[in-house]
Amino acid sequence: MRRLMRSLPWIAGVALAFAGLQLGDWQMRRADEKRAVQAQIDSRAQLPAILAPADAMPSEWQAVRAQGVWLESKARLIDNRTHRGQAGYHLVMPLRLEDGSGVVLVNRGWVAAGDRRVLPQWSTPEGVVTVEGRVRHPARETFMLAADVGSADTMVWQQIDLMRHRILIREAGAEGPLADWVLEQTSAQADGLVRDWPQPAAGVDRHLAYAFQWYALAALMLILTAWHGWRRFFRRHHDHPSARRFVRG
C-alpha cells in the first residue's frame, strides 16, 4: 500500500501529461478542419459575383450581385454595432429584385450613432440599382431582449429578425418570398455609409493557441514528474547506509 501511495505522483503526472498531449492533438485536428473551412471561404471570395434569386440558398460568404429597387420605407437600424470603437447602427434595407423572384435584405453598411433621440441620416438611390456583396446567414436567436420583441414598426432593432422583416415586406405589397440570407454590401455607393467589414475567419488561430496550452501543460507535467523522480532517487541514494559510510570516509 505504501509503495502504491509513493507511486501516485508518478501515475498522476504521467496521466496528466498523456491527457495534455491527447487534448493538444485534438485541438490540432480541429485547427486542420478549420483550415479546410477557411480554404473554402477564401475560394468563394475569389469567385465572381453571381446573380442569385430570392428563393436560392447560396453558400455563406459567396459573392452575389443583386438588381432591384430599394424599399426604403421598410429599412431598419440594427443597434449596438461598433466601428473602430465608435457606437452606431447597421442599416438593413429590403431590395425588391428586378427578376420578380422576391426580396433580399441588404446590410448596406454602418452609420454612427449621435444623439439617441435623433435617428441618423443616409441617402438612398432611386430606381433600379445593382448591389454587390457577400452572403451572410443570419443567426437564428432563441433569446431576444424584451425591448426587441414587439411591433415590426419599431425603427431600431437589436438584431436582424426575418419574421418581422417578412411582416414589413407584406405591408409593402412586394411579391415573392423574402430570402433566408442577407447580402452584406461591399460595392461602393455615395450614401455616407461605412462598409469596412471584417474579413471572414474560421478561427484557426484560436485552436492553435489552445493546442499550445495543452502541449505546454503536458511538458510541465513531464518535467515535474521527472524532477519528483530525481528527488526520490537522490534521497534514497543519500539515505542508503553505504552512502552514509562513504560520506563519513
32 has pLDDT over 80? yes
pTM of the model: 0.70
Instruction: Output the nine-digit C-alpha cell for 171.
Output: 405591408
Residue of higher predicted confidence among 61 and 203? 61
Q: Confirm if 65 and 131 have CB atoms less than 8 A apart.
A: yes
User: What average pLDDT is seen over the chain?
Assistant: 84
- Dihedral, CA of residue 178, residue 184, residue 189 and residue 195, to nearest 10: 150
pLDDT digits (tens, 9 = 90+) for 186-244: 998 888 899 999 877 767 788 889 999 999 988 988 888 888 767 766 666 555 555 55
**According to the model, what pLDDT value does residue 247 have?**
47
Q: Do residues 52 and 74 lie in contact, with contact meaning Cβ atoms separated by under 8 Å?
A: no
Rounded CA Rg of the chain: 30
